[in-house]
Amino acid sequence: MKSINLLTTILLILFSIPFSIGQNVTIPIETENVATVLKTDENNRLKMVYFGKSLSDGNEYNQTGDVFNFRSEGAASNNNAYAVAGIDNNFVEPAIAVIHVDGNNSLDLLYDSHTTSKTADGAILTTVTLKDPVYPFVVDLHYKAWKDKDVIEQWNVIRHTEKGNVILNKYASANLYLNNKDYHLTSYNGAWAKEMQPVETHLRQGMHTIESRLGTREHLLTSPNFMLSLDGKSTETSGTVMMGQLAWTGNFALQFETDVNKNLHIVAGINPYQSAYHLKPNTPFETPRFIYTLSFEGKGKGSRNLQDWLREHNLLDGQGERLTLLNNWEATYFDFDQDKLVSLFGGAKELGVDMFLLDDGWFANKYPRNDDTAGLGDWDVNKKKLPDGVPFLVRAAEKEGVKFGIWIEPEMVNPESELYENHPDWVIKQEQRPEIYFRSQLVLDLTNPEVQDFVFGVVDDLFTENPTLAFIKWDCNAPIFNGHSSYLERENIPQSHLYVEYSRGLQSVLERIRAKYPKVPMMLCSGGGGRSDYNLLKYFTEFWLSDNTDPLERVFMQWNYSYYYPAITMCNHVTNWSKDKSLKYRVDVASMGKLGFDIRANELSERDMKFAQQTVANYNDYKDVLWHGDMYRLVDPYENDMASLMYVNEQKTEAVMFSYLTNWRYLAETSTRPVKLKGLDKDKRYRVTEINLYEGERSPVDHQKVYSGEFLMNVGFNPMVDSYRASVVIKIESVQ
């Protein structure tokens, strides 16, 4: 009897080891102000038990889960840190769903171990390894926390050692579980020339999904950016708000599932649409990063967190300089030749911008690129238009004192091209079905290494021929239709890998480009703003927001983009899209980003030219504050008849403020009240000067007056915006 008891005791001790480990493991992931807490339960499953303010006593994190009643396991909620499909204690949306080699479609993931370390770039990386107790299948959850930015990057590595391929039907990057009560989601719809249109959704019970299935040009209809207020609506300065995006160049899905207990389950990752991935043994699959911040001081702080993080840790040359430019797209479209272009270089010089950017239409001979129906893919210079080639243009621009940049769209092909004739198998299409075109073009198959070499070659050849080429505008105008790759077919790789391998192919081309040409600025463009993900912004210095350059539309669009991107990334051009708006309004709006012009400079009146020159000089004077400073949104055009934003340098000695009329009605409320400034030093004294004025124009702003920061932030300053002063740019400088 005694020995049986002893045996039972030993067995109990042995069996209780994993359980007690499970009960005891608390994993806090912390930044300055935010903490995510993961904890194992009595079954050794990893749960997300807390997402909120960080605590000063780290020992208290292990109690955070105890004060919530999660009603997990078998009920309506499940706070798993990575929800699985196929075992019966999970009824919520899975983050991962697999079919094992033996056909079994269940997965259970138990906590195995975790590590926390400092990364070379200064973040804290926590990796938690989860293992299936039955199959040799492992998921490493990664959380990279940027302490002073309150930004977290989350992704996973999925691996196995089964004897064959495991099919991943779903493989999300992140799974979060929130216990707040009143969720307001802002997501963004779009279309060509209508990018980043915000939509607010009050999340109640059920599933709300933001997703893209376009393959390329993936943000055309939906943006992967989101803003989620957790406890009722937040404002610029108050409320708890989570903001971020899935950093993936391809199909994405962000799922927001609210349960009966008002808990919110977020699953974010590559869109599983047509994308079952057959994972070989010992071949880790890394998901893209889900990147977010949590602010307890409203949207303004959230934006500054993301903008700072992007500039310091993700964006190519985020701390560097950018080139102002004159572009010829709207000035000439396809209708130009060598002489005409050279005659435009003088305009760039006269305006005082750094560079001339040659847009579409400079290439292809057998099927010349005279409109968008032919020539795409044939990257030889068009001899008829440009007999002396690109090197001549580069030299001629440089002689004029401006740098030279060029447009390419290397991922695409027109059926009417030599490239298509010579390599029909390089094109994504369903051989047995009619081809479907978008802007008369098709997408090249970047899963194919030969195509990757070709795309790399387009850039490499340009730089080899023109070592001083200063800039590339990389366009991408078509989504993927009829998704089928003859390369994958030849290689016996499932077609359902197409979207993932396309994106990886593109990324590997960009890695090669950046290994050889690390810093040359490149603009990411996609038939307007079809691409702006943080993943591509590792390789690009800036992006094109939209082909819509109507300045009134732009005020709203730039406002929306500003939640996620710093001004240094946003290319804004002054064009004739909306000539009814004054040149001043157009320039002032375009100045709130990376300034460019796309006009026939020689057609400007002398007075307009003088004005434009002055605005470029002003821009050069304040661009450092704009590009590298802190941004504050002051007056929301969605709630007022004007918009107002400002940028302040780190020392709080210099700032620039932009205000724009957005409602031309007589009843519009604009200059009736002052605008309260933000981000200044209350104890400093500031001189306020209006800039971007026409010669001889008098400003109602008294340039002699000096205000304290306290006054400007508490009482405010009135830029006096009205229909006669539809845009006002103010320079703010501290005085001794």
Number of residues counted as binding ligand GLA (CB under 6 A): 12
- Strands 285-286 and 151-160 turn out to be antiparallel
Of the residues 218, 547, 588, 630, which one makes contact with ligand GLA according to CB under 6 A: 547
CB of 689 to ligand GLA, least distance (A): 34
Helix axes 449-465 and 389-400, enclosed angle (nearest 10): 50
The two tokens of residue 520 are 């040359």
Nearest to ligand GLA of 315, 412 (CB atom): 412
The values of phi and psi at residue 693, to 5°, are -110, 150
Distance between CA atoms of residues 447 and 346, nearest Å: 43
| Cα Rg of the chain, angstroms | 28
Nearest to ligand GLA of 224, 375 (CB atom): 375
Q: What is the sign, positive or negative, of the torsion defined by CA atoms of 443, 446, 448, 454?
A: positive
CB of 222 to ligand GLA, least distance (A): 18
CB of 217 to ligand GLA, least distance (A): 10
Distance between CA atoms of residues 608 and 583, nearest Å: 8
Residue range at the interface with ligand GLA (CB under 6 A); choices 244-252, 524-532, 663-671, 688-696: 524-532
Nearest to ligand GLA of 303, 549 (CB atom): 549
User: Pattern of binders to ligand GLA over 569-608, x per CB under 6 A?
Assistant: ----------------------------------------
CB of 233 to ligand GLA, least distance (A): 34
Of the residues 360, 411, 550, 588, which one makes contact with ligand GLA according to CB under 6 A: 360
Residue nearest to ligand GLA (CB): 360
CB of 100 to ligand GLA, least distance (A): 45
Instruction: Show Cβ contacts of residue 338 under 8 Å, excluding neighbours closer than 6 positions.
Output: 385, 386, 387, 388, 392, 393
Distance between CA atoms of residues 522 and 516, nearest Å: 14
The two tokens of residue 100 are 């094992």
Element (H, E) at 670: none
Nearest to ligand GLA of 173, 532 (CB atom): 532
Of the residues 415, 528, 637, 719, which one makes contact with ligand GLA according to CB under 6 A: 528
User: Pattern of binders to ligand GLA over 620-659, x per CB under 6 A?
Assistant: ----------------------------------------
Residue spans of alpha helices (H) in 364-404: 389-400
**Which residue is it, tokens 């006096």?**
720
Distance between CA atoms of residues 540 and 616, nearest Å: 24
Residue range at the interface with ligand GLA (CB under 6 A); choices 164-172, 311-319, 523-531, 675-683: 523-531
Residue range at the interface with ligand GLA (CB under 6 A); choices 157-165, 180-188, 342-350, 522-530: 522-530
Nearest to ligand GLA of 475, 501 (CB atom): 475
Phi-psi region of 196 (alpha: psi -120 to 50; beta: other; left: phi over 0): left
CB of 715 to ligand GLA, least distance (A): 43
Residue range at the interface with ligand GLA (CB under 6 A); choices 171-179, 197-205, 212-220, 520-528: 520-528
Contact 687, 735 (CB under 8 A): yes
Nearest to ligand GLA of 143, 474 (CB atom): 474
The two tokens of residue 548 are 């819509």
The values of phi and psi at residue 735, to 5°, are -115, 155
Nearest to ligand GLA of 335, 489 (CB atom): 335
CB of 407 to ligand GLA, least distance (A): 6
Among the listed residues 136, 139, 141, the one whose alpha carbon sits nearest the alpha carbon of residue 100: 136
Of the residues 477, 560, 569, 591, which one makes contact with ligand GLA according to CB under 6 A: 477
Nearest to ligand GLA of 22, 528 (CB atom): 528
Nearest to ligand GLA of 22, 593 (CB atom): 593
CB of 478 to ligand GLA, least distance (A): 11
Nearest to ligand GLA of 41, 359 (CB atom): 359
DSSP 8-state symbol, 167: E
**What's the count of helices (H) and strands (E) in the chain, helices before strands?**
13, 36
| Reduced 3-state DSSP string for 270-304 | ECCCCCCEEECCCCCEECCEEEEEEECEHHHHHHH
Of the residues 52, 190, 527, 719, which one makes contact with ligand GLA according to CB under 6 A: 527
Residue range at the interface with ligand GLA (CB under 6 A); choices 274-282, 289-297, 309-317, 525-533: 525-533
Total residues found in the chain within this entry: 736
Bridge partners of 270, per DSSP, are 252
CB of 530 to ligand GLA, least distance (A): 8
CB of 528 to ligand GLA, least distance (A): 5
Distance between CA atoms of residues 261 and 131, nearest Å: 29
Among the listed residues 524, 515, 538, the one whose alpha carbon sits nearest the alpha carbon of residue 460: 515
User: Pattern of binders to ligand GLA over 318-357, x per CB under 6 A?
Assistant: -----------x----------------------------
DSSP 8-state symbol, 638: T
Q: Is 359 in the site for ligand GLA (CB under 6 A)?
A: yes
DSSP 8-state symbol, 427: B
Distance between CA atoms of residues 730 and 691, nearest Å: 6
Bridge partners of 564, per DSSP, are none
User: What per-residue string of b and e applies to 363-392 under the rule 16 or more CB within 10 Å gives b?
Assistant: bbeebbbbebebbbbbbebbeebbeebbee
| Residues near ligand GLA (CB under 6 A) | 329, 359-360, 372, 407, 475, 477, 525, 527-528, 544, 547
